[in-house]
Amino acid sequence: MAQSPIVPLTYGASSKRILGSWDRLVFPFPFSRILFLWGDPIYVSPDAGADTIEKTRKELEERLASLTDAADRMVCGD
């Protein structure tokens, strides 16, 4: 409704603890290297139907997973 883009944003940390919660919250340890990555904005039309919204949700989920994997590889050197 706000017609603002959704910007996928994630981070990776060289030394961290990942909680077993639904969102796998990451707590970086002190003195860790942290890298933030963001992707291209995703725009959703205000009159988008349920199918378009679901397609966009899946696209956002895939982009976030890809960015998170890239951030983890870059910060950990894997």
- Domain membership of residue 64 (yes or no) is yes
Contact of 51 with 74, CB cutoff 8 Å: no
pLDDT at 8: 96
pTM of the model: 0.81
Quote the number of domains for the chain. 1
- Domain membership of residue 2 (yes or no) is no
Interior angle at CA 40, CA 26 and CA 21, nearest 5: 20
Say how far apart CA 30 and CA 57 lie, in whole Å.
33
The domain of 31 spans 9-76
- Domain membership of residue 4 (yes or no) is no
Q: To the nearest 10°, the Cα dihedral for 8, 22, 1, 51?
A: 90
Q: Which of the residues in the chain have pLDDT under 70?
A: 1, 78
